[in-house]
Chain A
Protein backbone atom coordinates (compact mmCIF):
# COMPACT_ATOMS: atom_id res chain seq x y z
CA UNK A 1 0.00 0.00 0.00
CA UNK A 2 1.45 3.35 -0.93
CA UNK A 3 0.49 6.58 0.76
CA UNK A 4 1.09 10.24 0.10
CA UNK A 5 4.34 10.18 2.07
CA UNK A 6 5.78 7.69 -0.44
CA UNK A 7 4.93 10.10 -3.25
CA UNK A 8 6.60 12.93 -1.36
CA UNK A 9 9.71 10.79 -0.97
CA UNK A 10 9.68 9.94 -4.67
CA UNK A 11 9.30 13.59 -5.60
CA UNK A 12 12.10 14.58 -3.24
CA UNK A 13 14.39 11.93 -4.75
CA UNK A 14 13.62 13.23 -8.24
CA UNK A 15 14.41 16.78 -7.16
CA UNK A 16 17.79 15.66 -5.78
CA UNK A 17 18.54 13.74 -8.96
CA UNK A 18 17.45 16.50 -11.33
CA UNK A 19 19.33 19.18 -9.42
CA UNK A 20 22.55 17.14 -9.55
CA UNK A 21 22.14 16.43 -13.23
CA UNK A 22 21.22 20.07 -13.88
CA UNK A 23 17.87 18.96 -15.29
CA UNK A 24 14.67 20.96 -15.08
CA UNK A 25 12.65 20.19 -11.95
CA UNK A 26 9.80 22.65 -12.34
CA UNK A 27 7.46 19.68 -12.58
CA UNK A 28 8.59 18.48 -9.15
CA UNK A 29 8.05 21.90 -7.60
CA UNK A 30 4.44 21.93 -8.78
CA UNK A 31 3.93 18.39 -7.51
CA UNK A 32 5.47 19.39 -4.17
CA UNK A 33 2.82 22.08 -3.81
CA UNK A 34 0.03 19.67 -4.66
CA UNK A 35 1.29 17.02 -2.25
CA UNK A 36 1.55 19.60 0.53
CA UNK A 37 -2.12 18.86 1.11
CA UNK A 38 -2.38 15.40 2.58
CA UNK A 39 -5.93 15.06 1.32
CA UNK A 40 -5.26 16.24 -2.23
CA UNK A 41 -6.33 12.98 -3.90
CA UNK A 42 -9.80 13.36 -2.43
CA UNK A 43 -10.05 16.85 -3.90
CA UNK A 44 -9.01 16.25 -7.50
CA UNK A 45 -10.64 14.05 -10.15
CA UNK A 46 -9.20 10.67 -11.05
CA UNK A 47 -7.82 11.95 -14.38
CA UNK A 48 -5.80 14.65 -12.61
CA UNK A 49 -4.59 12.19 -9.98
CA UNK A 50 -3.39 9.92 -12.79
CA UNK A 51 -1.59 12.88 -14.36
CA UNK A 52 0.28 13.55 -11.09
CA UNK A 53 1.23 9.89 -10.76
CA UNK A 54 2.34 9.70 -14.40
CA UNK A 55 4.44 12.85 -14.06
CA UNK A 56 6.12 11.22 -11.08
CA UNK A 57 7.14 8.44 -13.42
CA UNK A 58 4.85 5.77 -12.00
CA UNK A 59 4.42 3.04 -14.64
CA UNK A 60 1.08 2.70 -16.42
CA UNK A 61 0.46 -0.76 -15.00
CA UNK A 62 0.73 0.58 -11.44
CA UNK A 63 -1.47 3.67 -11.80
CA UNK A 64 -4.78 2.08 -10.85
CA UNK A 65 -3.55 0.11 -7.87
CA UNK A 66 -1.63 3.10 -6.49
CA UNK A 67 -4.59 5.42 -6.95
CA UNK A 68 -6.85 3.01 -5.10
CA UNK A 69 -4.35 2.97 -2.21
CA UNK A 70 -4.30 6.75 -2.04
CA UNK A 71 -8.08 7.05 -1.76
CA UNK A 72 -8.63 3.91 0.30
CA UNK A 73 -11.31 3.69 2.98
CA UNK A 74 -8.61 3.59 5.68
CA UNK A 75 -6.97 6.71 4.30
CA UNK A 76 -10.32 8.51 4.12
CA UNK A 77 -11.10 7.62 7.74
CA UNK A 78 -7.64 8.71 8.89
CA UNK A 79 -7.97 12.11 7.23
CA UNK A 80 -11.49 12.66 8.55
CA UNK A 81 -10.51 11.69 12.10
CA UNK A 82 -7.46 13.95 12.07
CA UNK A 83 -9.54 16.90 10.76
CA UNK A 84 -7.48 17.10 7.60
CA UNK A 85 -10.50 16.50 5.39
CA UNK A 86 -14.23 17.02 5.58
CA UNK A 87 -16.76 15.13 3.55
CA UNK A 88 -17.79 18.41 1.89
CA UNK A 89 -14.25 19.03 0.65
CA UNK A 90 -14.08 15.81 -1.34
CA UNK A 91 -15.12 15.84 -4.96
CA UNK A 92 -15.39 12.05 -4.95
CA UNK A 93 -18.74 10.39 -4.42
CA UNK A 94 -17.87 9.12 -0.97
CA UNK A 95 -21.27 7.51 -0.30
CA UNK A 96 -20.88 5.26 -3.28
CA UNK A 97 -17.10 5.08 -3.52
CA UNK A 98 -16.62 2.37 -0.96
CA UNK A 99 -19.47 0.27 -2.28
CA UNK A 100 -17.69 -0.55 -5.48
CA UNK A 101 -16.23 -4.02 -5.83
CA UNK A 102 -12.68 -2.83 -5.24
CA UNK A 103 -13.50 -1.34 -1.88
CA UNK A 104 -16.21 -3.75 -0.72
CA UNK A 105 -13.68 -6.37 0.23
CA UNK A 106 -11.81 -3.84 2.30
CA UNK A 107 -14.91 -2.68 4.15
CA UNK A 108 -16.15 -6.19 4.75
CA UNK A 109 -12.77 -7.04 6.17
CA UNK A 110 -12.94 -4.07 8.53
CA UNK A 111 -16.49 -4.87 9.64
CA UNK A 112 -15.91 -8.55 10.17
CA UNK A 113 -12.50 -8.59 11.70
CA UNK A 114 -11.86 -5.23 13.31
CA UNK A 115 -15.29 -4.32 14.61
CA UNK A 116 -16.50 -7.76 15.72
CA UNK A 117 -13.67 -9.46 17.58
CA UNK A 118 -13.65 -13.16 16.82
CA UNK A 119 -13.39 -14.14 20.49
CA UNK A 120 -16.68 -12.45 21.38
CA UNK A 121 -18.62 -14.06 18.62
CA UNK A 122 -21.34 -16.41 19.87
CA UNK A 123 -22.18 -19.56 18.03
CA UNK A 124 -25.85 -20.54 17.58
CA UNK A 125 -25.32 -23.35 20.07
CA UNK A 126 -24.01 -20.87 22.69
CA UNK A 127 -26.99 -18.57 22.07
CA UNK A 128 -29.53 -21.40 22.58
CA UNK A 129 -27.68 -22.50 25.70
CA UNK A 130 -27.83 -18.96 27.07
CA UNK A 131 -31.58 -18.69 26.50
CA UNK A 132 -32.11 -22.12 28.06
CA UNK A 133 -30.08 -21.12 31.17
CA UNK A 134 -32.11 -17.92 31.51
CA UNK A 135 -35.37 -19.85 31.37
CA UNK A 136 -34.14 -22.37 33.92
CA UNK A 137 -33.06 -19.57 36.25
CA UNK A 138 -36.50 -17.98 35.99
CA UNK A 139 -38.21 -21.28 36.80
CA UNK A 140 -35.96 -21.88 39.82
CA UNK A 141 -36.58 -18.34 41.11
CA UNK A 142 -40.32 -18.78 40.69
CA UNK A 143 -40.17 -22.02 42.64
CA UNK A 144 -38.24 -20.24 45.43
CA UNK A 145 -40.88 -17.52 45.56
CA UNK A 146 -43.61 -20.20 45.80
CA UNK A 147 -42.01 -21.51 48.98
Chain B
Protein backbone atom coordinates (compact mmCIF):
# COMPACT_ATOMS: atom_id res chain seq x y z
CA UNK B 1 0.00 0.00 0.00
CA UNK B 2 1.36 3.38 -0.96
CA UNK B 3 1.72 6.28 1.49
CA UNK B 4 -1.00 8.09 -0.43
CA UNK B 5 -3.39 5.15 -0.02
CA UNK B 6 -2.59 4.93 3.69
CA UNK B 7 -3.61 8.56 4.08
CA UNK B 8 -6.75 8.02 2.06
CA UNK B 9 -7.78 4.86 3.86
CA UNK B 10 -6.29 5.20 7.35
CA UNK B 11 -8.80 2.83 8.95
CA UNK B 12 -7.86 0.00 6.63
CA UNK B 13 -4.27 0.08 7.73
CA UNK B 14 -4.98 -2.12 10.69
CA UNK B 15 -2.15 -4.59 10.90
CA UNK B 16 0.55 -2.09 11.54
CA UNK B 17 2.51 -3.09 14.63
CA UNK B 18 2.61 0.44 15.92
CA UNK B 19 -1.13 1.04 15.68
CA UNK B 20 -2.41 -2.30 16.98
CA UNK B 21 -0.08 -3.17 19.82
CA UNK B 22 -1.29 -5.67 22.43
CA UNK B 23 0.32 -9.07 22.78
CA UNK B 24 0.37 -9.80 19.09
CA UNK B 25 3.63 -10.48 17.34
CA UNK B 26 3.60 -9.54 13.67
CA UNK B 27 5.48 -11.20 10.88
CA UNK B 28 5.90 -9.09 7.82
CA UNK B 29 9.27 -10.43 6.76
CA UNK B 30 12.36 -12.04 8.25
CA UNK B 31 13.73 -15.50 8.90
CA UNK B 32 10.33 -16.93 9.84
CA UNK B 33 9.23 -16.43 6.25
CA UNK B 34 12.44 -17.44 4.54
CA UNK B 35 11.28 -20.52 2.62
CA UNK B 36 9.99 -21.62 -0.78
CA UNK B 37 6.44 -22.86 -1.34
CA UNK B 38 6.32 -26.52 -2.35
CA UNK B 39 5.89 -26.80 -6.15
CA UNK B 40 3.05 -29.34 -5.98
CA UNK B 41 1.16 -27.13 -3.56
CA UNK B 42 1.70 -24.05 -5.69
CA UNK B 43 0.39 -25.83 -8.81
CA UNK B 44 -2.73 -27.10 -7.04
CA UNK B 45 -3.48 -23.76 -5.37
CA UNK B 46 -3.34 -21.80 -8.61
CA UNK B 47 -5.10 -24.47 -10.67
CA UNK B 48 -8.06 -22.93 -12.50
CA UNK B 49 -7.59 -19.44 -11.10
CA UNK B 50 -8.73 -16.87 -13.71
CA UNK B 51 -6.11 -14.22 -14.49
CA UNK B 52 -8.50 -11.27 -14.48
CA UNK B 53 -9.36 -11.40 -10.77
CA UNK B 54 -8.80 -8.44 -8.45
CA UNK B 55 -6.15 -8.78 -5.74
CA UNK B 56 -8.82 -9.34 -3.08
CA UNK B 57 -10.41 -12.05 -5.21
CA UNK B 58 -7.05 -13.71 -5.76
CA UNK B 59 -6.33 -13.61 -2.01
CA UNK B 60 -9.67 -15.28 -1.23
CA UNK B 61 -9.21 -17.84 -3.99
CA UNK B 62 -5.86 -18.84 -2.47
CA UNK B 63 -7.34 -18.95 1.06
CA UNK B 64 -10.20 -21.26 0.05
CA UNK B 65 -7.91 -23.46 -1.99
CA UNK B 66 -5.37 -23.91 0.83
CA UNK B 67 -8.22 -24.76 3.23
CA UNK B 68 -9.35 -27.34 0.72
CA UNK B 69 -5.95 -28.89 0.12
CA UNK B 70 -4.43 -29.06 3.58
CA UNK B 71 -5.69 -30.67 6.76
CA UNK B 72 -5.16 -30.04 10.41
CA UNK B 73 -2.58 -32.08 12.27
CA UNK B 74 -4.62 -33.54 15.11
CA UNK B 75 -1.53 -35.11 16.66
CA UNK B 76 -0.38 -31.62 17.48
CA UNK B 77 -3.25 -31.09 19.92
CA UNK B 78 -2.76 -34.42 21.63
CA UNK B 79 1.00 -34.10 21.85
CA UNK B 80 0.63 -30.55 23.08
CA UNK B 81 -1.77 -31.69 25.78
CA UNK B 82 0.42 -34.53 26.86
CA UNK B 83 3.54 -32.44 26.39
CA UNK B 84 5.51 -35.52 25.40
CA UNK B 85 6.31 -35.21 21.74
CA UNK B 86 8.83 -32.46 21.32
CA UNK B 87 8.78 -32.79 17.54
CA UNK B 88 5.71 -30.62 17.41
CA UNK B 89 5.88 -26.91 17.91
CA UNK B 90 5.35 -23.68 16.09
CA UNK B 91 9.09 -23.04 15.78
CA UNK B 92 10.04 -22.28 12.20
CA UNK B 93 11.31 -25.35 10.36
CA UNK B 94 12.32 -24.51 6.79
CA UNK B 95 12.65 -28.12 5.65
CA UNK B 96 9.30 -29.16 7.10
CA UNK B 97 7.37 -26.23 5.65
CA UNK B 98 8.88 -26.72 2.18
CA UNK B 99 7.65 -30.34 2.23
CA UNK B 100 4.04 -29.32 2.77
CA UNK B 101 2.11 -30.46 -0.31
CA UNK B 102 -1.58 -31.16 -1.06
CA UNK B 103 -2.96 -33.53 1.58
CA UNK B 104 -0.29 -32.67 4.16
CA UNK B 105 -1.15 -32.01 7.80
CA UNK B 106 -0.43 -28.56 9.14
CA UNK B 107 -0.87 -26.39 12.21
CA UNK B 108 -1.89 -22.74 12.47
CA UNK B 109 1.58 -21.26 12.05
CA UNK B 110 2.27 -23.34 8.93
CA UNK B 111 -0.98 -22.17 7.34
CA UNK B 112 -0.29 -18.53 8.11
CA UNK B 113 3.29 -18.62 6.90
CA UNK B 114 2.31 -20.34 3.66
CA UNK B 115 -0.67 -18.06 3.06
CA UNK B 116 1.42 -14.95 3.64
CA UNK B 117 4.07 -16.26 1.26
CA UNK B 118 1.42 -16.74 -1.44
CA UNK B 119 -0.07 -13.29 -0.89
CA UNK B 120 3.28 -11.55 -0.91
CA UNK B 121 3.48 -12.57 -4.56
CA UNK B 122 0.34 -10.62 -5.47
CA UNK B 123 2.09 -7.27 -5.68
CA UNK B 124 2.08 -3.95 -3.86
CA UNK B 125 -1.72 -3.42 -3.92
CA UNK B 126 -2.17 -5.89 -1.11
CA UNK B 127 -0.31 -6.34 2.14
CA UNK B 128 -0.54 -9.50 4.14
CA UNK B 129 0.52 -9.93 7.75
CA UNK B 130 0.82 -13.11 9.77
CA UNK B 131 0.73 -12.75 13.53
CA UNK B 132 0.76 -14.77 16.72
CA UNK B 133 -1.22 -14.00 19.86
CA UNK B 134 1.83 -13.97 22.08
CA UNK B 135 5.16 -15.77 21.75
CA UNK B 136 5.49 -17.09 18.22
CA UNK B 137 6.50 -20.62 19.20
CA UNK B 138 3.82 -21.25 21.82
CA UNK B 139 0.79 -19.23 20.68
CA UNK B 140 -1.99 -19.50 18.18
CA UNK B 141 -1.40 -17.85 14.81
CA UNK B 142 -3.70 -15.88 12.55
CA UNK B 143 -3.31 -14.00 9.32
CA UNK B 144 -4.85 -11.00 7.63
CA UNK B 145 -4.56 -8.73 4.66
CA UNK B 146 -5.60 -5.27 3.65
CA UNK B 147 -6.02 -3.39 0.41
CA UNK B 148 -7.56 -0.03 -0.34
CA UNK B 149 -11.04 -1.59 -0.11
CA UNK B 150 -10.77 -4.56 2.19
CA UNK B 151 -9.22 -5.14 5.59
CA UNK B 152 -9.72 -8.45 7.33
CA UNK B 153 -8.38 -11.16 9.61
CA UNK B 154 -8.53 -14.85 8.81
CA UNK B 155 -8.50 -17.73 11.23
CA UNK B 156 -8.87 -20.99 9.34
CA UNK B 157 -8.04 -23.27 12.28
CA UNK B 158 -10.06 -22.19 15.32
CA UNK B 159 -13.54 -23.68 15.56
CA UNK B 160 -15.96 -20.78 15.53
CA UNK B 161 -18.42 -20.82 18.43
CA UNK B 162 -21.37 -19.70 16.36
CA UNK B 163 -21.09 -22.46 13.78
CA UNK B 164 -19.13 -25.24 15.48
CA UNK B 165 -16.67 -25.65 12.64
CA UNK B 166 -13.51 -24.12 11.27
CA UNK B 167 -12.76 -23.18 7.68
CA UNK B 168 -10.18 -25.92 7.38
CA UNK B 169 -12.96 -28.45 8.02
CA UNK B 170 -15.97 -26.57 6.63
CA UNK B 171 -14.57 -25.55 3.27
CA UNK B 172 -13.70 -29.17 2.46
CA UNK B 173 -17.39 -29.91 2.92
CA UNK B 174 -18.69 -26.97 0.93
CA UNK B 175 -19.74 -25.03 4.04
CA UNK B 176 -19.79 -21.26 4.19
CA UNK B 177 -16.44 -19.77 5.32
CA UNK B 178 -16.59 -18.61 8.94
CA UNK B 179 -12.97 -17.72 9.68
CA UNK B 180 -12.95 -14.49 7.66
CA UNK B 181 -13.48 -11.50 9.93
CA UNK B 182 -13.80 -8.13 8.23
CA UNK B 183 -12.42 -5.12 10.01
CA UNK B 184 -15.20 -3.26 11.83
CA UNK B 185 -13.96 -0.02 10.30
CA UNK B 186 -14.75 -1.13 6.76
CA UNK B 187 -17.48 0.91 5.10
CA UNK B 188 -20.84 -0.82 4.43
CA UNK B 189 -20.18 -0.64 0.68
CA UNK B 190 -16.82 -2.32 1.03
CA UNK B 191 -18.29 -4.95 3.36
CA UNK B 192 -20.92 -5.71 0.75
CA UNK B 193 -18.19 -5.92 -1.88
CA UNK B 194 -16.39 -8.45 0.33
CA UNK B 195 -19.53 -10.57 0.83
CA UNK B 196 -20.17 -10.53 -2.94
CA UNK B 197 -16.68 -11.63 -3.86
CA UNK B 198 -16.59 -14.31 -1.15
CA UNK B 199 -19.74 -15.77 -2.67
CA UNK B 200 -18.36 -15.68 -6.18
CA UNK B 201 -14.81 -16.81 -5.47
CA UNK B 202 -15.83 -19.54 -3.05
CA UNK B 203 -17.76 -21.38 -5.75
CA UNK B 204 -14.96 -20.77 -8.23
CA UNK B 205 -12.21 -21.98 -5.93
CA UNK B 206 -13.83 -24.83 -4.02
CA UNK B 207 -16.64 -25.89 -6.32
CA UNK B 208 -14.15 -26.77 -9.00
CA UNK B 209 -13.07 -29.92 -7.21
CA UNK B 210 -16.51 -31.46 -7.47
CA UNK B 211 -17.04 -30.63 -11.13
CA UNK B 212 -15.82 -33.81 -12.76
CA UNK B 213 -18.56 -36.06 -11.45
CA UNK B 214 -18.09 -38.65 -14.14
CA UNK B 215 -14.46 -39.18 -13.14
CA UNK B 216 -15.40 -39.59 -9.50
CA UNK B 217 -18.20 -42.00 -10.37
CA UNK B 218 -15.83 -44.08 -12.51
CA UNK B 219 -13.34 -44.21 -9.64
CA UNK B 220 -16.11 -45.14 -7.25
CA UNK B 221 -17.16 -48.04 -9.45
CA UNK B 222 -13.66 -49.46 -9.26
CA UNK B 223 -13.14 -49.40 -5.50
CA UNK B 224 -14.44 -52.41 -3.60
CA UNK B 225 -17.16 -52.14 -0.96
CA UNK B 226 -16.03 -52.07 2.63
CA UNK B 227 -16.12 -55.46 4.26
CA UNK B 228 -16.64 -54.65 7.90
CA UNK B 229 -14.28 -56.45 10.22
CA UNK B 230 -12.96 -55.37 13.55
CA UNK B 231 -9.27 -55.17 14.42
CA UNK B 232 -9.72 -58.43 16.32
CA UNK B 233 -10.63 -60.31 13.15
CA UNK B 234 -13.77 -61.37 11.32
CA UNK B 235 -15.13 -63.39 14.23
CA UNK B 236 -14.71 -60.52 16.60
CA UNK B 237 -18.48 -60.33 17.11
CA UNK B 238 -17.98 -63.04 19.66
CA UNK B 239 -15.40 -61.11 21.63
CA UNK B 240 -17.04 -58.81 24.09
CA UNK B 241 -16.00 -55.18 23.80
CA UNK B 242 -14.28 -55.56 20.46
CA UNK B 243 -17.12 -56.50 18.16
CA UNK B 244 -17.86 -54.75 14.88
CA UNK B 245 -20.98 -53.29 16.52
CA UNK B 246 -18.94 -51.96 19.44
CA UNK B 247 -16.47 -50.27 17.14
CA UNK B 248 -19.18 -48.92 14.86
CA UNK B 249 -20.86 -47.33 17.87
CA UNK B 250 -17.53 -45.84 18.92
CA UNK B 251 -16.96 -44.42 15.42
CA UNK B 252 -20.49 -42.98 15.46
CA UNK B 253 -19.85 -41.37 18.85
CA UNK B 254 -16.60 -39.87 17.60
CA UNK B 255 -18.39 -38.37 14.60
CA UNK B 256 -20.97 -36.83 16.96
CA UNK B 257 -18.19 -35.39 19.12
CA UNK B 258 -16.37 -33.97 16.09
CA UNK B 259 -19.52 -32.19 15.03
CA UNK B 260 -20.62 -31.17 18.51
CA UNK B 261 -23.89 -33.10 18.21
CA UNK B 262 -25.48 -33.94 21.57
CA UNK B 263 -28.86 -34.56 23.23
CA UNK B 264 -31.94 -35.04 21.10
CA UNK B 265 -30.03 -34.28 17.95
CA UNK B 266 -27.69 -37.19 18.68
CA UNK B 267 -30.67 -39.47 19.32
CA UNK B 268 -32.39 -38.52 16.07
CA UNK B 269 -29.12 -38.97 14.17
CA UNK B 270 -28.75 -42.44 15.67
CA UNK B 271 -32.30 -43.35 14.61
CA UNK B 272 -31.55 -42.09 11.10
CA UNK B 273 -28.33 -44.13 10.98
CA UNK B 274 -30.15 -47.25 12.19
CA UNK B 275 -33.20 -47.03 9.98
CA UNK B 276 -32.83 -45.07 6.76
CA UNK B 277 -29.05 -45.27 6.41
CA UNK B 278 -28.72 -48.85 7.67
CA UNK B 279 -25.30 -48.29 9.25
CA UNK B 280 -25.88 -50.71 12.12
CA UNK B 281 -28.21 -53.06 10.27
CA UNK B 282 -25.74 -55.92 9.81
CA UNK B 283 -24.87 -56.17 13.47
CA UNK B 284 -27.85 -54.79 15.38
CA UNK B 285 -30.97 -56.61 16.45
CA UNK B 286 -33.02 -54.01 18.37
CA UNK B 287 -32.62 -50.71 20.10
CA UNK B 288 -34.54 -48.81 22.74
CA UNK B 289 -34.15 -45.69 24.85
CA UNK B 290 -34.01 -45.68 28.63
CA UNK B 291 -32.99 -43.70 31.68
CA UNK B 292 -30.04 -44.89 33.70
CA UNK B 293 -29.63 -43.95 37.35
CA UNK B 294 -26.26 -42.45 38.08
CA UNK B 295 -24.97 -44.05 41.28
CA UNK B 296 -21.92 -41.82 41.52
CA UNK B 297 -23.45 -38.56 42.66
CA UNK B 298 -21.72 -35.26 42.75
CA UNK B 299 -22.82 -31.67 42.29
CA UNK B 300 -22.30 -31.69 38.54
CA UNK B 301 -23.85 -35.03 37.67
CA UNK B 302 -27.48 -35.56 36.92
CA UNK B 303 -29.39 -38.25 38.80
CA UNK B 304 -30.63 -39.94 35.64
CA UNK B 305 -29.07 -39.95 32.21
CA UNK B 306 -30.64 -40.83 28.91
CA UNK B 307 -29.10 -43.88 27.30
CA UNK B 308 -29.64 -45.95 24.20
CA UNK B 309 -29.80 -49.72 24.66
CA UNK B 310 -28.60 -51.53 21.56
CA UNK B 311 -28.92 -55.27 21.24
CA UNK B 312 -26.39 -56.88 18.95
CA UNK B 313 -27.14 -59.93 16.81
CA UNK B 314 -24.80 -61.85 19.09
CA UNK B 315 -27.11 -61.10 22.04
CA UNK B 316 -24.83 -58.53 23.71
CA UNK B 317 -26.48 -55.36 24.95
CA UNK B 318 -24.72 -52.03 24.58
CA UNK B 319 -25.66 -49.21 26.89
CA UNK B 320 -24.63 -46.01 25.14
CA UNK B 321 -24.66 -42.46 26.44
CA UNK B 322 -24.07 -40.29 23.37
CA UNK B 323 -23.12 -37.26 25.46
CA UNK B 324 -20.48 -38.97 27.55
CA UNK B 325 -17.02 -39.71 26.23
CA UNK B 326 -15.60 -41.69 29.15
CA UNK B 327 -17.63 -44.68 30.40
CA UNK B 328 -20.32 -43.73 27.92
CA UNK B 329 -20.42 -47.17 26.31
CA UNK B 330 -20.85 -50.34 28.40
CA UNK B 331 -21.60 -53.89 27.29
CA UNK B 332 -24.09 -55.94 29.31
CA UNK B 333 -25.06 -59.56 29.25
CA UNK B 334 -28.77 -60.43 29.35
CA UNK B 335 -28.69 -61.23 33.07
CA UNK B 336 -27.00 -57.96 33.91
CA UNK B 337 -29.67 -56.00 32.02
CA UNK B 338 -32.44 -57.97 33.73
CA UNK B 339 -30.91 -57.17 37.09
CA UNK B 340 -30.51 -53.47 36.26
CA UNK B 341 -34.16 -53.33 35.17
CA UNK B 342 -35.31 -55.15 38.30
CA UNK B 343 -33.45 -52.81 40.66
CA UNK B 344 -34.60 -49.71 38.79
CA UNK B 345 -31.10 -48.73 37.76
CA UNK B 346 -32.36 -48.73 34.19
CA UNK B 347 -35.91 -47.66 33.35
CA UNK B 348 -37.33 -47.82 29.83
CA UNK B 349 -38.44 -44.51 28.41
CA UNK B 350 -41.44 -46.19 26.83
CA UNK B 351 -42.33 -49.62 28.16
CA UNK B 352 -43.80 -50.56 24.77
CA UNK B 353 -40.33 -50.63 23.27
CA UNK B 354 -38.14 -53.05 25.18
CA UNK B 355 -35.12 -55.11 24.27
CA UNK B 356 -36.33 -58.71 23.84
CA UNK B 357 -34.71 -60.91 26.47
CA UNK B 358 -34.66 -64.68 26.48
CA UNK B 359 -36.71 -66.40 29.17
CA UNK B 360 -34.82 -68.97 31.19
Contact = CB atoms under 8 A, between A and B. Distances in A.
Contact of A48 (B174, B217, B269): B217
Contact of B251 (A17, A43, A48, A58): A17
Contacts of B174: 35-38
A50 B209 CA distance: 21
A33 B173 contact: no
Contact of A44 (B217, B221, B224, B231): B217
B255 interface: yes
B278 A57 contact: yes
Interface string B205-216: 011011001001
Interface string B347-359: 0000000000000
B220 A31 contact: yes
Interface in B225-271: 225-231, 247-248, 250-252, 254-255, 258-259, 269
Interface string A48-92: 100110111111001001100000000000000001000000000
A25 B223 CA distance: 9
Nearest to B217: A48
Contacts of A26: 223
Contacts of A38: 174
Contact of A34 (B210, B252, B278): B210
Nearest to A7: B277
B24 interface: no
Interface string A17-52: 110111111110011111111101001100010011
Contacts, number: 120
A2 interface: yes
A51 B225 contact: no
Interface of A (DSSP majority class): helix
Interface bracket on B: 35 or more
A30 B220 contact: yes
A56 B272 CA distance: 14
User: Which of A12, A24, A65, A83 neighbours the largest number of chain B CB atoms within 10 Å of its CB?
Assistant: A12
A116 to B, nearest CB: 31
Given A48-B217, A58-B278, A21 B231 contact: yes
Contact of A62 (B213, B226, B250, B277): B277
Contacts of B227: 23
Interface string B136-177: 000000000000000000000000000000000000111000
Interface string B73-117: 000000000000000000000000000000000000000000000
Contacts of A9: 255, 259, 269, 273
Given A36-B172, A59-B281, A30 B209 contact: no
A22 B251 contact: no
Contacts of B258: 12
B219 interface: yes
Contact of B213 (A6, A17, A34): A34
B255 A13 contact: yes
Contacts of B279: 10, 13, 57
Contact of A21 (B210, B247, B252): B247
Nearest to B176: A82
The 10 closest A-B pairs by CB, nearest first: A17-B251, A37-B210, A59-B278, A16-B251, A27-B223, A13-B255, A36-B174, A48-B217, A36-B210, A12-B255
15 contacts: A2-B276, A6-B277, A10-B279, A12-B255, A23-B226, A27-B220, A30-B223, A31-B220, A44-B213, A48-B217, A55-B220, A58-B277, A65-B276, A66-B277, A83-B199
